[in-house]
Amino acid sequence: MADLVLKDVEKSYGSVKVLSNINLDIKRGELIVFVGPSGCGKSTLLRMIAGLERITGGTLTIDGQVVNDVPPAQRGIAMVFQSYALYPHMTVRDNMAFALKIAKKSKEEIDAAVGKAARILQLDPYLDRLPKALSGGQRQRVAIGRSIVRDPKVYLFDEPLSNLDAALRVATRIEIAQLKEAMPDSTMIYVTHDQVEAMTLATRIVVLAGGGIAQVGSPLELYERPQNEFVAQFIGSPSMNLLPGEIVGTGTTTTVRMKAGGTAVSNYPSQPGDEGMQVNVGVRPEDFLETEGEPIFEGKVDITEALGEVTILYYERVDGAAPVIAKLPGIHKDLRGKVVKLAADPSKVHVFHKEQSLLYRHEPHQKIAAQPH
């Protein structure tokens, strides 16, 4: 297995630059997930690592060797695509063994490699079946098995679950997590648009936006300490609420007077010169609490969704702004059309100035282009 380093990597098509300033240090044994909105370049970046797209700037290093100009077959990489790309006339066994036969491995080596992969992926009962006799999830496991038998340095997954229905996607996601547990030294890079896949599978998540990296961190780091408004709203569903206000108290905590009325207190530290600063207060829907005291936000509930374990409140839009959303635990009846006040624990209140979190104000950050809606 391998360490993988991208330094100042860029990708351009003619005069159009689609990726720039990509700097990543991926350690042996990590499962890195690339996420971001459609068109952000996550699949392009994966294909650059695979050698299927030319790197137009910077360097890609695998185990200390610069591989910019190394052909895909010589990079020690195996890739699993959205489509299973199985040979329909070959059995599962022959599909998994095909690359090793081309490499002229001995029958003993092939049988051992296929047998090991089949055990890891629980494919033993299906080795003599044709792909048409398998479910979508089983076919995807065969595609993964075909990669495992090659014993690559790095595994690349390009949205491997997107063709599966919801139930199979959940089951196969669990199987991939179990696969990583069974292969702890394997280095894997996984592209998805599904936040749940990213949050449940990743060692670290790379959020791509605006042609660059918006933030890199563990799933909980991105959820609890987003560096900017884009990551704050991209990670989590429903998205984090952003409410305008003005800093009126500074120190180890920050007090914000809300534009729509009310007050927010955050555990984010601030400086004496921050008084009067125009900021956005961020609160995740699940972190709001109903209150009778001083609220961060109050408004009339437009729609409710009673889901049993939680009740989701959608507030009426004000001045064309995005509707505020609260996710209250348990069952809350008859709130539609009523005014409900919301507060939050200061440890759950985020503060952003010019789209950057106050926690990261002195750190360099990626300028994120406006995203299409």
Give the number of C-alpha atoms closer than 13 A to the C-alpha of residue 185, restricted to the C-beta side. 5
**Strands 187-191 vs 154-158: parallel, antiparallel or unpaired:** parallel
Q: What is the rounded CA–CA span in Å between residue 126 and residue 80?
A: 20
pLDDT in tens, the chain (373 residues): 579 999 999 999 999 999 999 999 999 999 999 999 988 999 999 999 999 999 999 999 999 999 999 999 889 898 888 777 888 999 999 999 998 888 888 999 999 989 988 888 888 899 999 999 988 888 888 888 888 888 888 999 998 887 777 777 888 888 888 888 888 888 999 999 888 899 999 999 999 998 999 999 999 999 999 999 999 999 998 999 999 999 999 999 999 999 989 999 999 999 999 999 999 999 999 999 999 999 999 999 999 999 999 999 999 887 777 889 999 999 988 899 999 999 999 999 999 999 999 999 877 666 665 554 4
Q: Which residues are paired to 357 by β-bridges? A: 352
Contact 369, 210 (CB under 8 A): yes
Show Cβ contacts of residue 199 under 8 Å, excluding neighbours closer than 6 positions: 205, 219, 223, 235
Inter-CA distances, 345 with 153, 248, 309, 352, Å: 45, 18, 21, 17
Inter-CA distances, 187 with 154, 195, 235, Å: 5, 20, 24
Q: How far is Cα of residue 229 from the mean position of the Cα atoms in its chain?
A: 15
Look at the alpha carbons of 155, 156, 162, 163 in this order and tell me if their dihedral is positive or negative: negative
CATH number of 4-230: 3.40.50.300
Whether the upstream peptide bond of residue 346 has omega within 30° of 0, thus cis, is: no
Q: Which of 183, 172, 109 is nearest to 138 (CA)?
A: 172
Q: What is the rounded CA–CA span in Å between residue 140 and residue 121?
A: 10
pLDDT at 373: 41
The angle subtended at Cα 323 by Cα 318 and Cα 329, nearest 5°, is 130
pLDDT at 317: 82
Q: Which of 293, 294, 304, 296 is nearest to 344 (CA)?
A: 296
Inter-CA distances, 297 with 258, 305, 339, 343, Å: 8, 19, 10, 7
pLDDT at 248: 97
Show Cβ contacts of residue 61 under 8 Å, excluding neighbours closer than 6 positions: 4, 5, 6, 7, 67
Its pTM surpasses 0.85: yes
DSSP string, 21-69: EEEEEEPTT-EEEEE-STTSSHHHHHHHHHTSS---EEEEEETTEE-TT
Q: Which of 360, 359, 357, 317 is nearest to 233 (CA)?
A: 357
Class of domain 238-360: mainly beta
Q: What is the rounded CA–CA span in Å between residue 272 and residue 251?
A: 7
pLDDT at 102: 86
Q: What is the rounded CA–CA span in Å between residue 19 and residue 232?
A: 22
Q: What are the extents of the domains in the chain? A: 4-230, 238-360
